[in-house]
Amino acid sequence: MEKRELLYEGKAKQVYATVDPDLVIQYFKDDATAFNAQKRGTIVNKGRYNNAISASLFRYLEEHGVPTHFVRTLSEREMLVRRLEIIPVEVVVRNVIAGSLAKRLGLSEGRELPRPILEHYYKNDALGDPLINPWHITVLGFASEGELEEINRRALQVNDSLRTFLQPRGLILVDFKLEFGRFQGRLLLADEISPDTCRFWDAASGEKLDKDRFRFDLGNVESAYAEVHRRICGVA
C-alpha cells in the first residue's frame, strides 16, 4: 500500500493517506518526548519496536473481541490502520500507583490497587492534556453517554486481556493510555500500545521497562524497549 500525503505529524508518529480513503498508514518514529514535550530526545530503534509491539497487542486484542483500527503490518516502521474520527479523550487505566497519580495525590509509587482506576484526560497538547471527568466529556460533547460507557467497558476489557497476555511474559502492567475513534458507526481502539504508552515493570525485579527510563534518565532505554519487544513478539 503506497504512502500518499502526510496528514498529521505527532510526537512519536506520522500518519499518511493512502489511495483508500478509509485507510491510513501509521509510521513510528524514534523521537521521544516527555513532560508535555519539554524533554525531547531519540530512542534508537523505538519506532521499530513500538510498531511490532503494537501490532502484536492489537492482533491479540482483536482475537479476544476488542475491535481495533489495526489492519496489517506494512514494514518495520509502518502499519496500515483504519482512518478514524478520533475522540479527544485519553483513557488511562491504572493497576498500580505510579506517575501522575502518585504525584497528584501524594501517594508512594508501587502499591497495587484493589481494582483498576479509570481516568480521562482531554486530548489537547496546548493545554497539556488536562484531567477531566465524565461530566466534561458528555456535557461538552467530546463523546456521547453511550460512547463513554463503551469506551470505559472496552478499556477495562483491554486491561484484563493485556494482563492475561503479559503475566506469563513476566511483565506487570502498571498503567496505560488508550485512545478510541469512530469508524462507520463503530467504536475502535486506536493509536498504539507500546512502552511509550504503558508502564511495564519486570515481575521478578520490579525494573521499569518503559518510557520512564527516558523520562527520568534511568539509562538502558533502548535495551528496555528491546526487552519488551523480545517478550511480547517472541524474538531475540
> What residues make contact with ligand UDP under the rule CB under 6 A?
92, 98-101, 129, 175-177, 197-199, 211
- C-alpha 176/C-alpha 198 separation (Å) is 4
- Residue 200's SS3 state is strand
**In the complex, what is the shortest distance from the CB of residue 82 to ligand UDP, in angstroms, rounded to a whole number?**
21
Nearer to ligand UDP, 67 or 99 (CB): 99
- CB closest to ligand UDP, residue no: 99
The three three-digit cell numbers of residue 27, written as one number: 509510521
Nearer to ligand UDP, 82 or 199 (CB): 199
204, 210, 234, 206: which is closest to 222 by C-alpha?
Answer: 210
Q: Answer yes or no: are the C-beta atoms of 93 and 151 closer than 8 Å.
A: no
**In the complex, what is the shortest distance from the CB of residue 233 to ligand UDP, in angstroms, rounded to a whole number?**
19
Nearer to ligand UDP, 100 or 152 (CB): 100
Nearer to ligand UDP, 84 or 98 (CB): 98
- The DSSP symbol for 119 reads E
Angle at which helix 221-233 crosses helix 46-63, to 10 degrees, equals 30
- C-alpha 44/C-alpha 69 separation (Å) is 26
Q: Answer yes or no: are the C-beta atoms of 217 and 189 closer than 8 Å.
A: no
The three three-digit cell numbers of residue 104, written as one number: 497528584
Nearer to ligand UDP, 78 or 90 (CB): 90
**In the complex, what is the shortest distance from the CB of residue 35 to ligand UDP, in angstroms, rounded to a whole number?**
7
- C-alpha 112/C-alpha 86 separation (Å) is 31
**In the complex, what is the shortest distance from the CB of residue 57 to ligand UDP, in angstroms, rounded to a whole number?**
14
**In the complex, what is the shortest distance from the CB of residue 92 to ligand UDP, in angstroms, rounded to a whole number?**
5
**In the complex, what is the shortest distance from the CB of residue 181 to ligand UDP, in angstroms, rounded to a whole number?**
16
Nearer to ligand UDP, 173 or 187 (CB): 173
- C-alpha 158/C-alpha 163 separation (Å) is 8
Q: Count the Cβ atoms, other than its own, within 10 Å of residue 214.
A: 23
